[in-house]
Structure formats: structure tokens, C-alpha cells
A and B are shown apart, each in its own frame.
Chain A
Amino acid sequence: MHKLLISIILLVVNFKLLSQCNGLILDYNGNPIANVEIFIADLNLTIENNDQGEFTLDNDIPKNGLIHFYKHGYASKMIKYNSENKLLIKLDKLHVTIDEIGVSDTYNKLGDKKYVNIEKKSISPSLIENNTLLENITELNGVDMISSGNGIQKIVVRGLSGLRVVTYLNGMQINNQQWANDHGIGFSEIGLDEVELIKGSSALKYGSEAIGGLIYFKDQPFIKKNKPTGFLSTKFNANNHSNNSQFGTRLNIGEIFINLYAQNLIAGDYQMPDKTYLFNSRFKQNALKLSMSYKHKNLHTVLRYHLHNELTGIPGHVCVGDPKLQSLSELSYSKDFINFEENYNKKIPYQDIENQLYILESNYFLGSIHFNLLAGHYRNNLIEYGEKWTSPDFDMNLNNTLIHPNVKFSLEKYNFEFGSQINYLENINNVQNRLIPDANSLNIGPYAIFNYDNNNFGYNLGYRYDYKNLVSLDNTVTSDKKVFNTDYANNFQSSSMSSGMFYKLNDHISRVSYSEAYRAPHFSELFSNGVHHGTNRYEIGDENLSIEKSKQIDIKYQWSNDHFGVIVNPFLQNINNFISVVPTDSIYTEEDVNGNIITSYTVYNYIQYDNVTISGIEMNLHYHPHILHNLHFEQSLSLLKTQNNNDENGLSMTPANGINTKSSYEFDHSLMSIKKISLSHMYKFKQSSFSEYEEMTNSYSIISLGFGGQLNNKFNYYFMITNLLNKKYTPHTSRLRGVGENGVPNPGRSFGLNLNYEF
């Protein structure tokens, strides 16, 4: 009996020891590197090593599961876990970084960057240096923003936006009526860690409709530590008198991991360079995000909930007449002091938005086979008050349910992935008034992806087939006697593919990728019929629109040494049946009892161009002198040309060509608590390629300055001056470019102070 007991005890102890794996992280001189972030990708879990460079993996990590080792200043490394091998990791000191993937191994949710043009950006550490999330992301080359101040911002990738740039948050697609330029991104920045971007149509796994690109936001991973970690942060901006306060914490209780975040943001109207304020550019937001994770043996489950509320003013609203003839003085005002009772109150027109996101994700590991099932539900309620406090122009629920099973496994140098997306989208109007009718769609899209990786050479091939059924039945008569007479049912079917190849020779890496994708028309493009106050127009859809089809080729070359790095990335995309919305000669009017016109809007129709071409080149340079390792100099060039082959004009809202330059210096030892100084310059060329109904936009130059540091090892700060020279400018992608003679200017000089306390 004693022997049995001792045997059992030994077995348990051995089992415990065998289920733990010890590792060591050193530099190439054999010195231990401490405080390295060790990210276990399959578990979405981060641990850290100790001061001696040692770490222990005491979780059951799947065989061939990816583990990513990262520390600032070192080339990160990624390995495939094999418990039979001793974990001795060596990290090389890093001198040059380009778009964070140029010279380092990184884990990417969207696929392998060797074959697919994936760009990645860290959000959480650098958000302290930016006003907003999208300003942060526009630092990626080829990415711009459609905006009207900080309240309404949306992403443009290589000239395409809205429905063509698909957004994902933690595996769930975000559908928030993104077809319109006055509807933002649909969630808060709280808890975010990284963003990955695929430009163009190579994002097979996440839908075929991302012909402009796919942008994937990831939350901070769960963390295993002895005590909770977290932060309190607050941002002040003097231009629009805004405050953005956030709280976040990550903790674990045994094998249960919890991340919790909350945010409150208020902002007044923004100040333009002439010192007046743009009326109703104010907004408020609050948000809550809770994520929980639990692992038991081979099953790993994650549950997420995100609540996001917004009250957003719609500036530049023009009720009557041509917006181009609107005087700017009618849309702005002066003030000598902040009136807390007035400056933040909502004004007509405004949007009242509530977004809720639910995700349940399960991962099951069987040897090196990884099964994943994601079930998500995203609910967007958008209420737009255009003219009246008590009667919204529309009140819509857009409910999106996604089921996404996926299995992936590796066989030596070959990787396989199979899956399918079942996506149900439903638009429901809650009031009589409406812009788009009740409608629903069901999309089923199975796919298969194959990779071959032989260190210096590899290729990738993916195929997807989509079936989409779209139905709308709506005979509502609105309060202004407009009749919706929609009785529509149609199926859209098409296949998509993506392929890529890379070759590495010493420090030279080349990649070429080719992809084909399609996008079915959306409810708004098919059925719109009404005034859209947020865009100052009356919009009419077309039920006869057909599928857009895209083909793209993308080539990327990169080279770097310890002090200099370069990336060159030309691309060409061709889209058939390109859907657009264009003004007509018709004017929609409403009259009072005396026959006076009280509202008038230009009528815009949704139409389809036979063929458009988008081409360009993006380049990145990074340099830092040998004698001044702490001085970083980065420059990026983006050249973009869009061509409507129907009429030889460009496409609307095409960003101008631009050069971004940034110099920063990091002090080894803080100078009066300052650790970093940055100076950035953005130059936008004149935009003389535009659509038939647009006008040229002049060139402009914006300089911004910032410095930041630590007051102690927990308290960080960053002070910035945006638009240092108070330049008056209106980007070609401004939502308000068509209002007033030269458009409504962007914010003038702005002082911001960001504070962050970590515990």
C-alpha cells in the first residue's frame, strides 16, 4: 500500500513537472534579458520572465503553438512550441524598426506576413502620443481618414472606405451602418492592444467583401501575474475642451483570466484656425469592456462583452440651398470662456448610438490540430435626429450574428486551414421614418487556405466561395407621406481567391501577392430613399445594382541593416461594377403652408461604374545615425491614383498624395523627466484627381510637436501641440469639404496633455 501511495505521489509530482516547461532568455553575449513579454498565441495569454531571464510555462500549450517573445529594443522572436525541446531563446538587440514587421518576427492574427501584405501597429503604448485611435492608425502608410473633427472619423485604405474596408474587433465583424461618411467606427479604443491591416482584397478568411482592405483590432491579451495590473489615464485637449478618462485592469484567479476596461469621454466644439468654434462638432462617449478566459485541459474558452454609447453632433448641417454657398460664419461662433452648461449639451442634428458586442470563442487543441469556434453578436442602434427633438429621422437596429468555425494544422513545412463563416445581418427600423427599409441578408462563405514555408521561400494559396441571400419587404408610409415599396429577394454568389509568394536573400525580402474578391450591394445602396441629414443630401438607391468584382496585385520589397531600412510597395487594383453615389440635377424640397421652401437637398443616386482602377506606390525609410543611436528619422511616401474608366475622372474622396516625416529622440536618462521628443511633418500634395462633382484641394503642410516622459516608474505623461503653426486646411477627405466656399477647416492649433498611471 505504501509503495502504491509513493508511486502515485511520484507520478503526480512528475506529471506536475512534466506539465511545466522552463525556459531562459539571453542576448547574444549570454546575458539574461529580463521583463520580456512572452505571448502564447493560442491562449491569448501573456506572461513575463524574471530578472534572471527565466520563465516557466505551466500551461498545456498545444504542440506547434506559436509563442512570441518581445521586448522593446530587441528583435522579437517567434517559435513553434515543442515541449521536447529546451526553451533557450536568444534575442538580438534591434537598431532599426520599420512598420514593426520589417525586421522582426511577429505574430499576426490575419495570417503570415511573408505572403500577405499585413501591416501591424501597437495601439496601447502609442495611444498616449495621439489624440484619437484613428489618428494613431493613419500613421500607417496608405491609410487616411474621413472626418469632421474628432467626433466622426472613419478609415480610408488606398482610397477606399465604408463598406469596402471591413472592420473586425476580436474576431467579430463590425457592422454599424458604415456605408455613410457620417458614421464612425462603432466601438471604443479601450482595451485595445494592436491593429492589423491588410490592404486590398487578400483577407480571405474574414470575408470576401473587404476589397479595400481588412482592419483587425485586437484587445490586450490576458495576463498571468501574482497581482492585478492596470492603469488610470486621462487626456485633455485645449482645442475642443475635451477629456477622455479611462481605467483598465487585467488579473487572473487561478485559470480564470479577466480584463476589464471603462471609459468616459466628453468633448465640446472644436476651434478652427480663425479662433471660432465649429458649431455642433461636440460629442460624448462612454464604454465598458469585459473579457474573461478559462482554460481546462485542451479546451480554452473566451467570453467578451463590449458596451459603447455615443452622442455625436453633426456639424456643417445645411437645411436649405447649396451647401457650397453656405457662409462659414453661419456654422461657427466665438466664445471667451467655457460654459459647462452649454458647451457639452447635445444640439440638433445629432446621433444617438448604442453598440453592444458579445463574443463566445472556444478553442480545442488536439495535438497540433487547433479547432476554433467563434459565435458573435453585434448590435448597433443608430438614432439620428435631424430637425426635431422628439421625432428622429431614423431609428435603426442593425443586428449582426456570426458563426465562424475554423480548423488549422501543420505538417512540417505545410500549414492548412479550413473554415466557414455564417453571417446573418438584419436591419430593423423602430419608427415610421426611415432612410433604408427593413431588410436582412444571410451569407455563407466556406474557405480553404494553404501555406508552404521553407524559411527563405514560401507561398500561400486561398480560396473562398460565398453565397448571399438578401431580402427586403417593406411597405411603410412615413410621416411625411413617403411610401417605401420594397419587395426584393436576390441571391449573390461568387468566389474569391488570394495567392502570395515570398523570397528572402540575406537582408532582402520580396513578396508578391495576387487576389480576387467580390462585394455584393448593401441594403443602403439598393434601397435608400430619403433625406440623410448627416450628409446634406437626399439619397436614392438602385435595386438593379450587381456585384463588384476586384482584382489586385501587390508587390513589396524591403531591406534593412543596423542603421537604415527601406520598404517599397507598388500595387494595382481593378474593380468592375464599382458602386458609387453621385449628385443629380434634381433638388428635393419641402414647403410650408405658404409655399415657401423650408428644406432643400440635392438628390444623389446610387449608380455603378463599369470599371475603375486604383494604383499607387508606398515607400518607407527609416534611418538613425551610427553616432546617435537614439535619434530616429522616419519618412513615408504615399502616391495614389484612382481612375474612373467610365469618364476619365478620379473617384470621390481619394486622399491626396502625401509625405509624412517624423524625427524623434529618446534619452537614455531622462532630461528633466523628459524621455522622448518628437517632431512630425505631414505634407499633402494638391489633389487634382477627383470625381466629376468634386473640386481640387490645395496642398498643405502640418507640423506637430510632442514630448513625454516619466515622473516616476509608474506615471507617464505626454504633452503635444498639433498643428503647431495653426494652419488653415481642409483635407480632400474631409466630410465637410463640400460645405462653404473652400470647405470647413480642420481644427487649428491644439494643445494636449495625456497622463497615464500604471499599477
Chain B
Amino acid sequence: MKNLKFGMFALLIGMFASCDSHDDACHECHIAYIVDNVEIAEVEIGEFCGSALEEVEGPDYTHELTEDVTVQGLDGNDVTVPAGVYNEIHCEDHGHDDHDH
């Protein structure tokens, strides 16, 4: 009986500790700078959470760069992203993103 109680307790703890399906986390977002149908650079625009994240990911959201920004491109070379309005905002990690695990 002791083993039974211990086993149930251990598994219940494990289950409650894992598999959180509701995403309340915050995520870093960036403008995906695309030239000739290829994304060549990313311009960070900050971390967003909750309703702000939902707004940034919405189909009508745009972000304005008021001046040119120079960043390191995805190929490692410097890229100057011109001032303007951009609507391609990414807040996810894809395989091609730089993720340093």
C-alpha cells in the first residue's frame, strides 16, 4: 500500500509540473527584413507578452522604423534596413533562427 501511495503521489506531481498548454510566456519579436523574397536580416523590436503579443502578431499590425538601422544579417554581413513601415513581424524561433541552446 505504501508503494501504491508513493507512486501515485510522484506521478501526480510530475503531471502537474509539466505540459502547460497555455502560453503565458513572453517572446522576443523582430521585423523580418525580406529582399527578393528572401529574409536577409532581423530587426529586434522588443519582448511582448499577453495581449500585446497578440496585437503584434495580428494581421493588421505594422511597425515603423523611423530611421535606417544597421544590423548583422543572417549571413553574418552587415545589412542596412531602411526606414519605413513593415508588417512582417516574427516572434517565433524557426530552425533557421539563431538559437544558442
A interface with B by C-beta (< 8 Å): 227-228, 230, 232, 245-247, 249, 251, 260, 262-264, 266, 277, 279-280, 284-286, 288, 309-311, 315-317, 319-320, 330-333, 335, 339, 342-343, 346-349, 352, 354, 387-391, 479-480, 592-594, 596-598, 600, 759
Q: Does B14 contact A (CB under 8 A)?
A: yes
Would A330 and B96 count as touching, CB distance under 8 A? Answer: yes
* Closest Cβ neighbor of B23 among chain A residues: A389
In whole angstroms, what is the CA distance A330 to B39 when docked? 13
Which residue of chain B has the shortest Cβ distance to A345 in the bound complex? B25
CB distance from A323 to the nearest CB of B (A): 12
* A-B pairs with beta carbons under 8 Å apart, 30 shown: A228-B1, A232-B3, A262-B8, A262-B12, A279-B95, A286-B14, A311-B19, A320-B38, A320-B39, A335-B101, A339-B101, A342-B99, A347-B92, A348-B94, A387-B90, A388-B57, A388-B92, A389-B27, A389-B53, A390-B23, A390-B57, A480-B59, A593-B62, A593-B86, A593-B87, A594-B86, A596-B37, A597-B37, A598-B88, A759-B4
In the assembled complex, which residues on chain B have CB atoms less than 8 Å from the CB atom of A246?
A: 11
- CA–CA, A335 and B92, complex, Å: 20
User: When A and B form their complex, which 8 residue pairs have the shortest distance between CB atoms, in order from nearest?
Assistant: A348-B92, A264-B14, A262-B11, A331-B95, A596-B34, A247-B7, A390-B54, A597-B37
- B34–A263 touching, CB < 8 Å: no
Give the CA-CA distance A279 to B87 in the complex, in Å.
Answer: 26
Choose among A230, A285, A330 the residue that contacts B19 (Cβ–Cβ < 8 A): A285
CA distance A71 to B82 in the complex (A): 76
A343/B101 in contact, CB under 8 A: yes
Closest chain A CB from B8 CB (angstroms):
7
Q: How far is the CA of A317 from the CA of B11 in the complex (A)?
A: 33
Task: Verify if B66 is at the interface (C-beta below 8 Å from A).
Answer: no
Given known contacts A228-B1, A280-B95, A387-B92, is B34 in contact with A594 (CB within 8 Å)? yes
Residues of chain A within 8 A of B92, CB atoms compared:
347-349, 387-389
- Does B21 contact A352, Cβ atoms closer than 8 Å? yes
**CB of B47 within 8 A of chain A?**
no
Q: Does B65 contact A (CB under 8 A)?
A: no
| Cβ contact of A247, chosen from B11, B59, B86, B95, cutoff 8 A | B11
Q: Is the CB of A232 within 8 A of B7?
A: yes
A227 to chain B, nearest CB (A): 8
Chain B's closest residue to A251 (CB) is: B4
When the two chains form their complex, are residues B10 and A247 in contact, meaning their CB atoms are under 8 A apart?
Answer: yes
Which parts of B39-55 form the interface with A (CB within 8 Å)? 39, 53-54
- Given contact pairs A247-B10, A390-B23, enumerate 16 new A-B contacts (beta carbons under 8 Å): A227-B1, A232-B7, A249-B4, A249-B7, A262-B11, A264-B11, A279-B99, A284-B18, A309-B19, A309-B21, A330-B96, A331-B95, A388-B91, A391-B58, A598-B34, A598-B39
B residues apposed to A, CB below 8 Å = 1, 3-4, 7-8, 10-12, 14-15, 18-19, 21, 23, 25, 27, 32, 34-39, 53-54, 57-59, 62, 85-88, 90-96, 99, 101
Q: Which residue of A lies closest to B92 (CB)?
A: A348
Q: Which of B3, B18, B99 contacts A333 (CB 8 A)?
A: B99
Looking at A260, A264, A389, the one whose CB has the most chain B CB atoms below 10 A away is A389
User: Provided the pairs A247-B7, A333-B99, A759-B3 are in contact, do residues A320 and B37 lie with their beta carbons within 8 angstroms?
Assistant: yes
Cα distance, A596 to B36, chains bound together (Å): 6
List chain A residues, Cβ under 8 A from B23: 346, 389-390
Q: Which residues of B contact A346 (CB under 8 A)?
A: 23
Chain B hits for A596, CB < 8 A: 34-37, 88
| Closest beta carbon of chain A to B1's beta carbon, Å | 7
Q: Bound complex: CA of A489 vs CA of B33, how far in Å?
A: 46
Chain A nearest CB from B38 CB (Å) reads 8
Chain B residue with minimal CB distance to A338?
Answer: B101
Check if B14 sits within 8 Å of A245, measured CB to CB.
yes
Residues from chain A with a CB closer than 8 A to the CB of B3 are 230, 232, 759
Give the distance to chain A from B93, nearest Cβ to Cβ, in Å.
5
Closest B residue to A264 using CB positions: B14
Asked if A230 and B32 sit within 8 Å, CB to CB, the answer is: no
Residues of chain A with a CB closer than 8 A to B10's CB: 232, 245, 247
CB of A412 to closest CB in B, whole Å: 46
Query: From B54, which residue of chain A is reached at the shortest CB distance?
Result: A390
Contact between B94 and A390, CB atoms less than 8 A apart:
no
Residues of A contacting B58 in the complex (Cβ-Cβ under 8 angstroms): 391
Cα A310 to Cα B37 in complex, Å, equals 35
**Which residue in chain A gives the minimum CB-CB distance to B1?**
A228
Query: Least Cβ distance of B52 to chain A in Å?
Result: 10
> A249-B7, A263-B11, A391-B54 known; A330 and B95 CB under 8 Å?
yes
Which of A288, A317, A391 contacts B95, CB < 8 Å? A317
User: In whole angstroms, how far apart are the Cα atoms of A232 and B39 in the complex?
Assistant: 50
**Nearest CB in chain A: distance from B45 CB, A:** 15
Q: Is B21's CB under 8 angstroms from A288's CB? A: no
A333 surroundings in chain B (CB, below 8 A): 99, 101
Do A228 and B57 touch across chains, with their CB atoms under 8 A apart? no
Expressed in whole angstroms, the Cα–Cα distance for A388 and B23 within the complex equals 11
Q: How far is the CB of B25 from chain A (nearest CB, A)?
A: 8
Q: Which partner residue on chain A sits nearest B31 by CB separation?
A: A592
| Residue of A whose beta carbon sits closest to that of B27 | A389
Q: Which residues of A contact B19 (CB under 8 A)?
A: 284-286, 309-311
Beta-carbon contact of B15 and A592 below 8 Å: no
The answer to whether A592 touches B34, judged by C-beta atoms less than 8 angstroms apart, is yes
Contact at B18–A286, with CB atoms within 8 Å? yes
In the assembled complex, how far is the CB of residue B27 from the closest CB belonging to chain A, in whole angstroms?
Answer: 6
Q: How far is the CA of A347 from the CA of B101 in the complex (A)?
A: 13
A286 to B14 CA separation, bound complex (whole angstroms): 9
Please report the C-alpha to C-alpha distance between residue A317 and residue B92 in the assembled complex, in whole angstroms. Answer: 12
Give the nearest-CB partner of A316 in chain B.
Answer: B95
Instruction: Pick the contact of B59: A228, A286, A479 (CB < 8 A).
Output: A479
Closest B residue to A331 by beta carbon equals B95
Q: Bound state CA distance, A306 and B8, in angstroms?
A: 16
Distance of A320 Cα from B4 Cα, bound (Å):
52
Complex interface: chain B residues within 8 A of A309 (CB): 19, 21
A311 to B10, CA, bound (A): 21
Contact A592 to B101, CB < 8 A, known contacts A230-B4, A280-B95, A284-B18? no
**Most chain A beta-carbon contacts within 10 A, residue among B32, B91, B92:** B92
Chain B positions within 8 Å of A335 at CB level: 101
Closest A residue to B93 by CB, please name it: A347
Please give me the residue from chain B that is nearest to A285 by CB atom. B19
CA–CA, A514 and B56, complex, Å = 59
Q: How far does the Cβ of B100 sit from chain A's closest Cβ, in whole Å?
A: 8
Q: How far is it, in angstroms, between the C-alpha of A342 and the C-alpha of B85 when the chains are bound?
A: 33
* CA distance in complex: A614, B4 (Å): 50
B46 to chain A, nearest CB (A): 15
Docked complex Cα distance between A479 and B58 (Å): 9
Within the assembled complex, what's the spacing in Å between the Cα atoms of A263 and B10?
Answer: 10
